[in-house]
Structure 1
Amino acid sequence: MPIHKSTEYGDIEISLEAIANLVGGTINECYGIVGMASQKVVKDGWAELLKRDNYSRGVIVRQDGNSLILDIYVIALQGIKLSEVMVAAQQRVRYVLEKTLEVKVEAVNLNVQGVRTVK
């Protein structure tokens, strides 16, 4: 179900897929994140690294009343302190959504699907 906003110029509907793409772009700018991952781990325990046009496959956006709950699947950079990087990523996603779309974000759940080295 899309998010509805009313302005003096008319109504705006923001689809959950558009929100997922915004989240994907935001999370990929975060330090220590290699990229978005598919929700399903492919064979042999490898996670698929998603390209820009598939970000919505790595983000689940749910509405709980007037707020959003996000489940984000990522691949992290090897050698970083995961806890600190993930907290910073959660804060950045929450900030961007609340400032850009003016919606309340109840939870940002990050799921690390894999760890990779960057060449």
Structure 2
Amino acid sequence: MTIKADLGFINIAPEVLADIAGYAAMSCFGVKGMTIRSVSDGIAHLLRRENMSRGVRITEAEDGGVNIDLHLAVEHGVNIATVCRSIISEVRYNVEKMTGIDVKNVDVYVDAIRAD
């Protein structure tokens, strides 16, 4: 992602945006972790903190900015809609604040519910 500034251009790697979005999502109440679906068995697996960005997909929007997809697991017993609204707000705020890039869309996919 390239941003035009007054004195030149700033390049921000998608991996950096994925890390920011992943850490922001993990800070929300009710989130157990980021997930990734296994190709072999189709089951969602919980990722460790160092691999958290694998549960995030960043794409550039057509009219500038980025779209963010988050795959995660939530705690058993929480209101999923409320948790997802909190995640969307937190991710959008942190990415825009830290990078200055406009976040067009944040999609949250709840792949698992964990009771442990």
Read off the aligned partner of 1:90 and give its amino acid letter.
I
* 8 Å contact from structure 1 (residues 6, 12) kept in 2: yes
Structure 2 residues without counterparts, runs of 5 or longer: none
Point out 4+ residue stretches in structure 1 off by more than 6 angstroms: none
Cα distance in 2 between the residues matched to 1:81 and 1:54: 26
What is the match of residue 83 of structure 1? Answer: 81
Q: TM-score, normalised by structure 1?
A: 0.86
Q: Count how many residue pairs are aligned between Structure 1 and Structure 2.
A: 115
Q: CA RMSD in A?
A: 1.8
Q: Tell me the distance in 2 between the aligned counterparts of 1:114 and 1:41.
A: 13
Task: Go from structure 1 to structure 2 and tell me whether the alpha carbon gap of 1:56 and 1:5 turns closer, same or farther (over 3 Å shift).
Answer: farther
Cα deviation digits, residues 50-104 of structure 1 (max 9, x gap): 1222122111101113211111000010000100111011011111111111111
Contact 1:46–1:114 under 8 Å retained in 2: no
Mapped partners of 1:99, 1:63: distance in 2: 18
Cα distance in structure 2, aligned partners of 1:61 and 1:76: 21
Aligned to 1:3: 2
Equivalent position of 1:32 in the other structure: 30
In structure 1, the gaps of 5 or more residues are: none
Q: Percent same amino acid at aligned positions?
A: 30
User: Which amino acid is the alignment partner of residue 30 of structure 2?
Assistant: G
- TM-score (norm: length of structure 2): 0.88
